[in-house]
Structure 1
Amino acid sequence: MPDHDLAIIGAGAAGLSVAAQAAALGLKVALFEREASADSSPQGGTVAVAALLAAAHRAADLRNATRFGLSIGPVAVDWAAVQAHLRRAVAEAAPPASAAALQRHGVTLIQASAHFTGPDRLEAAGRVHSFRRAVIAAGTAPVLPDLPGMVGLPWLTEDSLLGLQAPPAHLLVLGGTARGVELAQAFARLGCRVTLVVPSPNLLETEEPELRQPLREALRADGIEILENSPVAALEPAEAGLAAVLEGGARIAGSHLLFALGQAPRLAPLDLAAGGIRATSRGVATGADLRSLTNRRIWAAGDIADPEGLRPGQAAGAHAAVIAHSMLFRLPVRLDGRASPRAIATAPALAQIGLTEAEARAAGHDPRILRQPFAGNDQAIAEGATEGLVRLVVDGRGTLLGAGILGQGAPELAGLLSLMIGRRLPLDALANLSLPAPSRAEAAVHAAQSSAGSIYPATPFGGKLAPPWARTLAGWLRLLP
């Protein structure tokens, strides 16, 4: 008889959720977490970055308060207090993953690294554990390049950067990823000198050009030096701390270097081959139900999963629910990443839901683009933050395929458009949506109303203008008593 009905590797959000649900159903659940404490959850880093960005944006708001008629002196940054704010945020947002809390739910916590020794066996802390089913939720780790000269120099990853006891004098950020851009702006707004070194030709190259270009200019307005198409060939010591040597021979010195080249799945310690589990460079190969394609006892959750037809990490928040249906109740369910949103928490923020214009064309659509700038939005005008726009990607039948938003509040507005795409609601449902006014969400409604297929196109005053046929009909109807 197996030792465990369910073995879960990794105490991330998805792993914890599945563990609690399975234990509540009476299953014998073991959770393997290699960290010294299960409170060290992967989402802690995400919360810490969000808290750092919140502090940075507040600092920028204080500096710009004069536009509202407010007079405030020079903004002083207390780095120790900022670090305390990050720790509080992580502590308050952490899931109840302590051993005692897990045991109350009926979950056995095994604080050890686990690896497969067979299709239904794991080894951890010198003991072999057999299981009926297992979930791999081991998460990802920062991608580190193999550069000459790295040894002994002050290079950082996201985790070590957020633990700095003093702010860097000159932070070099290597990588044009969303997280790299967020951290570059955060440290610049907290008073640090920042240089963003982007190996690829364009910053945020997978995002819509119409959205990423204004964001690039906003970063430069914050004082960030951006060097695109600048691969780093080596690192070397410098008086300030270290220097990045570019492939062209240029040398950029700074006090610290942050690697922000993305994340890679933590596959190596798992010995997946011993478990008969196929993996790709992006993670554990699964179907749309998150079940392994080669070992039907195994599921994968979170960023370590590589579901067929979806980008890694897409719809990761829905993984626990999919696994609960697929594994615990054996119901036919598929992960649907069509409406999965992603966001960059910069100022202005950038959010993308569904297909970009390029992805829509690659999928065989002939998309139309509907735009509504925030410059005409009453709420944005009142807030003094009119940069950006709402950009809708629509097919010939008026179906919303994707949406991009650049501007304040973009992640929150993304939820509305994600619901539209996920539920396959017609564009008229958005065009006829009633909202409190003023509201930034009105920009999305006005973008939908600008469609030639909308029954009531928008007027310059925000209302709806009847098409010619409706005016003719009204003319006849007015003759009725």
Structure 2
Amino acid sequence: MKHDLLVIGGGSAGLAAARTAVARGARPLMVTDGPPGGDCTFTGCVPSKTLIEAAARDDDFATGIRRVREAVARIAGTEDETALAGEGIEVLRGRAVFRSPREAEVEGRVLAANRVVIATGSEPRIPPIRGLDDLDYLTTDTVFELDALPRRLAVLGGGAIGCELAQAFARFGAEVTVVEAQERLLPGEDAEASRVLADRFKAEGITVRTGVSAARARQLEGRCRLEFDGGEPVATDRVLVAVGRAPVTAGLGLRAAGVAVEENGAIRTDDHLATTSPPGIYAAGDVTGRSLFTHAAHLMGRIATDNALRKGRRRRFLASSIPRVIFTSPEVAQVGPTEEQAARTDSDARMAYLPMSEVDRAIAAGRTDGFVKIIAARRPWLGTLGGGRVLGATIVGERAGELIHEIALARQTGMFTGRLAQTTHAYPTHAVAVQQAAAQFFTEYGGRRAHLVRSSAD
């Protein structure tokens, strides 16, 4: 059978690419060297969020791991080869290697590759720490294979996944230490959000070491020891490496295809997700190095397929309105720039701030950590009329991951803050906080008015 589109990779981006091809009346062939579903289903979103939920319910670790495996199996069953065949997607197991810009080989089978979407995803990045390879260290891909809870766990990396898993393991009863090379947890997020989470970690007994990097790792009598250039060493039973992810591009034969890669290994793409190869080869998802989120990968897969198959005007991928959520407790959600970023790029932008301690539903629930920050920019010709155009927001608190979508929609549609303030929100909900914060662009609310953004140094 002749295929209209070759999809290399079976994760979120690859599945979206193949399903979009079917929706367009095309015949896709998906090549994957692992089961369809990829990282999100087997080692990422599904297992991590299941474990986090189990820890929040006070399940024991054995129950949590059992729930993880049940959830993975249930979701994987909806996207395996049999399920995809029923959708019109042929799946070929194996690793694809380009032989030329128009040919790829899979286990000795040569495939025509006139239209291709490369969606091979990413893998855990391992830092160059002396002695680390001698440890039986865990990664975000292998941590869910544990059957017993480590008594002590050191987490290398204080980013999103490091913080999520650190808190989950601490709630199961492990003694957890988080080590972050930057000066604060969540270094890419709002500085106040980092402080709120650091305070919560301290209250929950999680040790945080920031501004330090592990220089050496040692295996001593069944225990691990992390040593630093400065400060006391950390003794632990297991080490979890969570310092980020690297694009999977090695061994694909990209040079033969004429596909260029960045210094970090990511495939170089333009805003249409086209590679630098001859026309017809696109890339989507983590392998591009853009927006390393499952929902972003899904969107990229759809856009890449649309552009590969259509004639005429092509769609662009814009990451600016894609929300991101860190599933700690409290949750940290963000869309658009942080206040610090806005202060650097748009000094006329204004910010409204509301602490969760003044939100009735948060008070009723007894979970008042966090805040809402809404940032608005002046509009051409209209200035601050209508409160200005919604630029983004940071929300920290209970269900922040749900609340952020109202702001994402506002940013995507160019909405002005007046629409958020005028829309009646059900009381008492957490979402009322968005309306109350938006009101500050027009009047004093709770003793606060929107003010100019400022950097953390101000």
Shift of 1:22: 1.8
Alignment of 1:144-159 (within 5 A): 144-159=126-141
1:216-241: per-residue Cα shift (whole Å, max 9, x none)? 11011111100111101111112452
Structure 2 counterpart of 1:295: 278
Q: Residues 276 and 365 of structure 1: is their aligned pair in 2 closer, same or farther, counting only changes over 3 Å?
A: farther
Structure 2 counterpart of 1:7: 6
CA distance in 2, matches of 1:167, 1:140: 27
Letter in 1 for 2:3: H
Shift of 1:458: 5.3
Structure 1 counterpart of 2:36: 38
Q: Say how many residue pairs are matched.
A: 437
Q: Does residue 437 in structure 1 map to residue 419 in structure 2? A: no
Structure 2 counterpart of 1:56: 55
Name the SS for the 2:142 alignment partner.
Answer: helix
Structure 2 counterpart of 1:422: 412
1:400-438: per-residue Cα shift (whole Å, max 9, x none)? 211000100000001111001111101100110111111
Shift of 1:49: 0.3
Q: Normalising by structure 1, report the TM-score.
A: 0.86
Alignment of 1:329-340 (within 5 A): 329-330=310-311, 331-340=313-322
Q: Residues 217 and 365 of structure 1: is their aligned pair in 2 closer, same or farther, counting only changes over 3 Å?
A: same
Letter in 1 for 2:410: M
Q: Higher mean Cα deviation, 19-28 or 243-252?
A: 19-28
CA distance in 1, matches of 2:162, 2:66: 22
Name the SS for the 2:36 alignment partner.
Answer: coil
Runs of 4+ aligned residues of structure 1 deviating over 4 Å after TM superposition are: 311-314, 458-462
- Residues 286, 306 of structure 1: 8 Å contact kept: no
Match for 1:389 among 368, 371, 375?
Answer: 371
Shift of 1:40: 5.2
Shift of 1:20: 2.5
Q: Normalising by structure 2, report the TM-score.
A: 0.90
Match for 1:321 among 302, 318, 335?
Answer: 302
CA distance in 1, matches of 2:276, 2:407: 32
Structure 2 counterpart of 1:264: 246
Letter in 2 for 1:23: V
CA distance in 1, matches of 2:346, 2:171: 42
CA distance in 1, matches of 2:326, 2:24: 38
Rg larger in structure: 1
Match for 1:353 among 324, 335, 339?
Answer: 335
Aligned-residue sequence identity (percent) comes to: 33
- Residues 247, 289 of structure 2: 8 Å contact kept: no
- Residues 329, 397 of structure 2: 8 Å contact kept: yes
Q: Does residue 22 in structure 1 map to residue 12 in structure 2? A: no
Match for 2:391 among 385, 388, 401?
Answer: 401
Alignment of 1:55-454 (within 5 A): 55-59=54-58, 77-94=59-76, 96-239=78-221, 241-248=223-230, 250-280=232-262, 281=264, 283-306=266-289, 311=291, 313=293, 315-330=296-311, 331-396=313-378, 397=384, 398-451=388-441, 454=442
Name the SS for the 1:429 alignment partner.
Answer: helix
CA distance in 1, matches of 2:169, 2:136: 17
Tell which has more relative contact order, 1 or 2 (C-alpha 8 A, sep 6+). Answer: 2
Shift of 1:107: 2.4
- Residues 143, 263 of structure 1: 8 Å contact kept: yes
Shift of 1:26: 4.3
CA distance in 2, matches of 1:39, 1:210: 35
